[in-house]
Structure 1
Amino acid sequence: MNKIYNPKPTDWNQLLKRPTQTVADIEGTVADVFDAISTKGDQAVAAYTEKFDGVALDTILVSEKEIEAAVHLVSDELKDAIQLAKGNISRFHEAQKTTKVQVETMNGVDCWQEKRPIQKVGLYIPGGTAPLFSTILMLVLPAKIAGCKEIVLCSPPNAAGEIHPAILYTANLCGVTKICKVGGIQAIAGMTFGTESIPQVYKIFGPGNQFVTVAKQLATKYGVAIDMPAGPSELLIVADDSANAAYVASDLLSQAEHGKDSQVILVATSKKLIDAVELEVEKQLAVLPRVEIATEAIKNSKLIYVENDKIALNLIDEYGPEHFIVCVHDEDFYVSNVANAGSVFIGNYTPESAGDYASGTNHTLPTNGYAKNYSGVNLDTFMKNMTFQKISKQGIQAIGNAIELMAEAEGLQAHKNAVTLRLNEA
């Protein structure tokens, strides 16, 4: 593992660089797929599914029969775990509901704001090296609570042309309206333009590899919103001598096993802890089933020693981690002052895995430094704020002259006239 001691602030930018590829070649591939699907629909989707996923499908849509079969393939123990997580996630997102905001800004001028659900949403659920059925809980449950009418789910099929049964079970349990066997760029393009089988949506959600990330960004050029430009998973832990080295190592590895391009970082004020964590990582890594993936990710990891909490916090805010674990004596210092993080996990008994699955918070979070300007998925992500106003005769008399003066100053005579006509009759 890469150990760095007291790096200079001028070197932080290079030190904290994400292990991502350049996207020049990716952008060309994504654009080609979008062009084909926009004109050829399902035919192009099927061709790219055969090319990228190695399977020829008779139909894109998942049938009721396939869903029924999946229900029987999921163990009762896993169903119970999914139900527990569903309850916690639902409770946390239900609590995010807000009432309308209403203000009489002056006599006779009534303004208010109400929320409305996004009617059609598309969810992308990775299913490659890990079938992320937990992401369905994180996306479908707030969508249902928000009141979204149409919830379309796309997930890549395996070599047999099937979607993992846990994905189908969870999607059905949570209320997905349509499930499509399609992954990668073609899934995002399908939901962007709509095809014979895949409905067009207004906003696309969900994590994915760099191809999916670039595809989501391209979708915005066609009037489709996205949750965030989420890419490979990442974790930063800040720790001191109060931390348990085995726990810290296990958390680093929990993110490293996501993918070879994942990044994990430990920032510590203890050299002794850094050495202990390094040994624990080697020990735990050796017995992981996904050892090859985690090993590659660990090559991009950093163990960084700094002298105090203030320096550590500045470095962390410069990085803006997707997941941020705090295992230090002075938890309050970080909790109260951190500015840039997707989701924060506090104390030795709060593994990042809890947020990934069942504590209740959402695990769809900004990566690649976007925690500096994006929030993770929440109830409001599936909603729009709409403003309303109603002005009485008394109100237009009170505000009208100010509107006339401002409109005239901007040279917009029709704006002024729209008020003047009313004032003359009020």
Structure 2
Amino acid sequence: MKLDDLTHAMLDAARKAGADAADAMAIHGTSVSIDVRGGALEQADRSEGIDLGLRVFVGQRQANVSVSDSSPQTLQTMAERAVAMAKEAPEDPYIGLAEPAQIATEWDWGALELADPSDEPDPQMLLQDAAEAEASALAVEGVTQVQTAVGGYSATQIHLAATNGFSGGYSRTGRAVSCVAIAGEGEQMERDYDGDHRIFQSDLRAATEIGTTAGIRAVSRLNAIQPPTGAYPVLFDERISSSLIGHLLAAANGASIARGASWLRDCLGQDVLPKHLSLIENPHRPRVEASRPFDAEGLPTRQRAIVEDGILTGWTLDLANARKLNMESTGNAARGVASPPSPATWNVALTQGSQTRAELLRDMGTGLLVTSMIGSTINPTTGDYSRGAAGFWVENGEISHAVNECTIAGNLRDILRNLVPANDARQHLSRVVPSLLVEGLTLAGN
């Protein structure tokens, strides 16, 4: 059966089992991954299967059941079990499907270019990508081994339907190459990585470039020492700067706001970024992974300003959390087959600055350039921030030497209000965030 037929078959089974309303999701996925080590195939994985999810409502009670078998008998059984579970669930006044007037009725899926129409790559092509990445990394002087080199491909078809009349689906593809290189020996070993993931195979960076970059990055981290303890400016490299914006997005999530468990809970309409910065969500960017024509509740997606000229303008909401807050959904519901919807953000872009990363390094004088982070201690209700970091020490505006084993600490309210962006964000990512300079963070090092 086609995916749209399967979703409607689940809805029919739900009605027959006694559900007042229901929505159904069907996902068919294919993934291929080829790992190379020592110039030879180390591991090859291929998976292909279908996953089905059914959410039913009995009054103001709901339940969710998922299966991976599409036989009619299984669909009937899952519907019966879902209804039986819903009858035992606690009542929730905020749950429910969208009103028919709210659901998406028109979209241009083709304009989003979420699926590459070219054929699935031959496994030999993925093997060649992984082998070239590994060989290029090993060719970098100082690289002693490659931990992993991988070529991968994925294709997914999704269909969602509900008893309120919504029915829609789309497809996605992905093509990836990644490499993790190790430099040095014994206790002096350091590792770093590079990778690329694109929807269209033709957009993918060359495997040789990825391997070489991974090797150069690993070698540059050799002979690292701890930085001094104190208050210094910190420049978050573009590779990891989006994590800061991720903390802002998590705090603006409607589920956290509805629970009162966010450090942004009283900040609506207030400054959360410098006045010249905005954070724009656009779910309709072509060839970008987080683009989508509608959300997981069948509502149309749209562009919106999460932060405009530094001011927080709203929360990220699905239907249930919007009802809790007496607001309207922003079309940001996400879900899998085994769980009900919850709020999530799509593509976001932070306003870029006018300076290059090198110019920000020059202006910061003495401080830390962070290129990787480990661990995380974030207090979601106060915004207190502490993370392990590694990168490079900057003296007189120039990189001096590699550093590791240090901790960066501060408060997200202060960090985000004092960001200085560079102009080096990669436009094809779902989070377009440049390198970010923050003055006066606390470093715990030597």
Give TM-score scaled by structure 1 length. 0.22
Task: Determine which structure has the larger strand proportion and give its number.
Answer: 2
Greater relative contact order (CA < 8 Å, ≥ 6 in sequence):
1
